[in-house]
A and B are shown apart, each in its own frame.
Chain A
Amino acid sequence: MGRQVCVASAGFCEHASKRSDVNMPELVSEAIADCLAKVPSIGIEDIDAFVNGNMPAFEGANMPELWMTDWMGARNKPLMRVTTGGTTGGSVAIAGYYSVTAGLPGIDTVLAVAFEQQSQGDTSVGLASVAYGEISCLNSLGIPLEQLSRLLSAGAAIGVASYQATNYMRRSNITEEDLARVVVHNRHNAAKNWYAHLKMPNLTIEDVLDTPYISFPLRYGMVCPASDGVCAMLFTTEEKAKDMADIPVYVNGVASVANETAILGYDGAGAGQLDPSEQLGARRSSELAYGQAGISFPRKEIDYAEVYSPFPNQELMWVERLGLFEENTATEMYKNGTTAINGELPINCSGGVNSTNAIGASAMERPAEAALQIMGKAGNQVPRTVHTSLGHGWGGALNFVTLMVMSDEPQRKWR
């Protein structure tokens, strides 16, 4: 079976809505430098292979790795690009894990880089290019384009998420105030995190509820920003990680599961997910990853979780679907402070995707942040010792889920 893989380090660049002081390769090299600064014993020459990825067509440069080889330090080294939409970062991290665990001769240390510079291009054009084939198919089946644009007008990610939000609110009987509470939780945490984008230390629930609707039930104040940002993670073998880092973080379980699409079916067909907040893919991926990591009671064994939640309803939904809380109790946990930084199970102390969203990088920032919390090097560090943590990613038409479970000790039960 594969080798035990460790995360030796993780790095970020500073996120902002417009990083006009740097271009894309410079932005990437910032995060790589931050990542390598945390492991002073090695340099760029010690890295054996590279994995990178971003959301295609968002920057108007469709093969960015082509121009970026020099800036990543990947010259004359194996380089691979992985891109799976919203979960790109999660898939890149998993590809980095696979590259190490495969045990190829000479490939021990792999640098995974996920990036996005959204200010450079038009996100809505990028998203339209994903679904345009389907839209034109419906068009040729008889729905006029003008009506289609109205149907899908809620616009890409926020549109599909608002359907999900309606369903989740109906299922668990929550109000908009409960959604706003999650936003406040995230933005307050982001204020303490050096690389976060939307830092709002004085935000209140009323402020969020004052903003207009974008599409019901999501308001302007609840929605994630569009950031420029990069995340880098250094994967290596157990032996090397012990030399590099004080506390090597063992990757004990990974999973990436795709379900049927929701909202929009293929070739004009009906969509297979009746309830977009059901998320069988998330349940299945948590089953797989917890099984590999030997976790039987996620609520008790996991000390910290980073979930992918551009919209507040998703944060509540994911923590339930990933088995951290019972069904329909997540709201309660946000009310009574269980998920706060000094609570029993802190969630998204980095501010989450709700405060910082560089799409391609977001899903990797989750496991990266979860790893840094174990190492004790996170921007907004949990005061309690974190032993086991969880990084989650989501994307696609509400149907892709990636998961990475990490711990400070190796789990060899499954080998």
Chain B
Amino acid sequence: MSKMTRRKSMEYIKKEYARTRTMPASWYLNSYKYKYNVTHMKPFLDKLKEGKLVGLQCSNCNRVSFPPKLVCGNCLIKPDRWVDLRETATIATYTITYLKDEATGKIIEKPIACIRQDGCDTTIITELAPEINYEDAYVGMPLKIHWADNLEGSLSDIKYYDVIDDKSKDMALREKK
């Protein structure tokens, strides 16, 4: 491609050129000290340790965020009302990844989902239970939280999401097809 590339320009800058050479080079990236705010995360994580789910509600637009947001994107105010959330959720959107398992060298198909906890207005990226067949995942699939064995008060307390029976009318239509 490069040899065939017709060079029709650059008369006014450079009349003749020698082929540009490629120099391999590498450099270390520094380690960084990112900052993040935990004022809104701390009560949330404390509740997680008790096995409870809470969201933070904006007192102006009533949007609930889970995990809590420090600033409401709509109103630019600090949400300050804690609300309890149910353990059920639905898939807001999902994708399937094709990753090589390093031990066996096989390609594993795994659904990764953005879920919306029932009662909140934000999505969170998470994993589904390993026994869910990736072909069965769909947008709007009802899920239930699967807690980790030991609750530590961190986001990993939500191990993954189990699938529960779908009783929506939509589903009946789906089966008819």
7 pairs, CB–CB < 8 Å, chain A vs chain B: A138-B155, A141-B154, A142-B45, A142-B155, A167-B92, A267-B41, A270-B67
Is B116 touching A268 in the complex (CB atoms < 8 A)? no
Contact residues, A144-196 vs B (CB, 8 A): 144, 147, 150-154, 159, 162-167, 170
Set A151, A170, A265, A276: member contacting B127, Cβ < 8 A:
A151
Q: Determine whether A301 belongs to the interface, using a CB cutoff of 8 Å to chain B.
A: no
Closest CB pairs A-B (n = 4): A142-B154, A270-B122, A33-B9, A216-B96
Residues from chain A with Cβ under 8 Å of B98 in the complex: 212-215
From the candidates B70, B93, B121, name the one contacting A166 in the complex (CB within 8 A).
B93
Q: Are A30 and B2 CB-contacts (below 8 A) given A151-B125, A269-B65, A270-B67?
A: no
A18, A162, A165, A271: the one within 8 Å of B122 (CB): A271
Question: Quick check: A150 and B156 within 8 Å, CB to CB?
Answer: no
For residue A166, which residue of chain B has the nearest CB? B93
- Closest chain B residue, CB of each to CB of A72: B13
Complex: A59 Cα to B18 Cα, angstroms? 22
Contact of A30 among B9, B66, B67, B121 (CB under 8 A): B9
Asked if B138 is an interface residue, CB under 8 A from chain A, the answer is yes
Instruction: Classify the interface of chain B: helix, strand, loop or mixed.
Output: loop
- B88: which A residues are within 8 A, CB to CB? none
B5 touches A215 (CB 8 A): no
Q: Are A270 and B120 in contact (CB under 8 A)?
A: yes
Cβ-based interface call for A273 (8 A): yes
Which of A147, A212, A269 gathers the greatest number of chain B CB atoms within 10 Å? A269
Tell me how far the C-beta of B168 lies from the nearest C-beta in chain A, rounded to whole angstroms: 14
Residue B166 CB within 8 A of the other chain = no
Q: Which residue on A lies nearest to B69, using beta carbons?
A: A269
Contact B96 A270 (CB under 8 A): no
The one of A22, A30, A271 that contacts B124, using a Cβ cutoff of 8 Å: A271
Chain B minimum-CB-distance residue to A24: B20
- Is A142 touching B152 in the complex (CB atoms < 8 A)? yes
Point out the residues of chain B lying under 8 angstroms from A125, CB to CB. Answer: 29
B36 contacts A140, C-beta separation under 8 Å? yes
Extra contacts, 11 of them, besides A34-B9, A154-B112, A265-B124 (Cβ < 8 A), are A14-B6, A33-B9, A60-B27, A142-B156, A142-B157, A143-B156, A147-B127, A153-B112, A165-B95, A269-B122, A272-B122
Among the listed B1, B41, B94, B127, which residue makes an inter-chain contact with A268, where contact means beta carbons less than 8 Å apart?
Answer: B41
Binding site for B on A (CB under 8 A): 13-14, 16-23, 26, 29-30, 33-34, 37, 43-44, 60, 71, 73, 125, 129, 132-133, 136-138, 140-144, 147, 150-154, 159, 162-167, 170, 212-217, 260, 262-276
Measured in the bound complex, the distance between the Cα atoms of B116 and A170 in whole Å is 16
Q: Is B73 an interface residue (CB 8 A)?
A: yes
Whether B9 pairs with A29 at a CB distance below 8 angstroms is: yes
Contacts of B28 in A (CB 8 A): none
The listed residue (A137, A141, A144, A270) touching B45 by CB distance below 8 A is: A141
Is there contact, CB below 8 Å, between B13 and A71? yes
Given contacts A16-B2, A150-B112, A166-B139, contact A269 B68 (CB under 8 A): yes
Instruction: Please give the distance in Å from B11's CB to the nearest CB on chain A.
Output: 7
Q: Which residues in A have their C-beta under 8 angstroms from that of B73?
A: 260, 272
- Binary interface profile of B, 87-113, with partner A (CB < 8 Å = 1, else 0)? 000001111111100000000001010
In the bound assembly, the distance between CA atoms of A164 and B95 in angstroms comes to: 9
A26 with B14: CB separation less than 8 A: yes
Contact between B124 and A213, CB atoms less than 8 A apart: no
Q: Mark B22-35, 1 if CB is under 8 A from A, else 0.
A: 10010101001010
Query: A267 near B95 (CB under 8 angstroms)?
Result: no
Known: A21-B19, A30-B10, A170-B139. Contact between A269 and B70, CB under 8 A? Answer: yes
Which residues of the partner chain A approach B22 to less than 8 Å between Cβ atoms?
20
- Chain B 49-68, CB-CB to A under 8 Å as 1, else 0, gives 00000000000000001111
CA distance A274 to B118 in the complex (A): 12
The answer to whether B10 and A29 touch across the interface, beta carbons within 8 angstroms, is: yes
- Minimum Cβ distance to chain B for residue A290 (Å): 24
0/1 interface trace, chain B 140-158, chain A, CB 8 Å (1 if under)? 1000000000001111110
A residues in contact with B27, CB < 8 Å: 60
Task: State the Cβ distance, A6 to closest chain B Cβ, in Å.
Answer: 23
Question: Contact at A16–B95, with CB atoms within 8 Å?
Answer: no
Would A274 and B122 count as touching, CB distance under 8 A? Answer: yes
Contact A263 B138 (CB under 8 A): no
Q: Which residue of B lies closest to A214 (CB)?
A: B98
B95:A154 contact, CB within 8 angstroms: yes
CA distance A205 to B156 in the complex (A): 43
B69–A166 contact, CB under 8 A?
A: no
Which of B3, B69, B138, B152 is in CB contact (< 8 Å) with A265? B69
Kindly provide the distance from the CB of A385 to the nearest chain B CB, expressed in whole angstroms: 28
Given A29-B10, A136-B34: A163 touches B94 (CB 8 Å cut-off): yes
In the complex the two chains form, is B96's CB within 8 Å of A150's CB? Answer: no
Contacting B93 at CB < 8 Å: which of A132, A133, A163? A163
* Chain A residues within an 8 Å CB radius of B124: 265, 270-271
B97 contacts which of A71, A150, A166 (Cβ < 8 Å)?
A150
Contacting residues, chain B, for A140 (C-beta < 8 A): 36
Identify B70's interface contact among A133, A260, A264, A267, CB under 8 A: A267
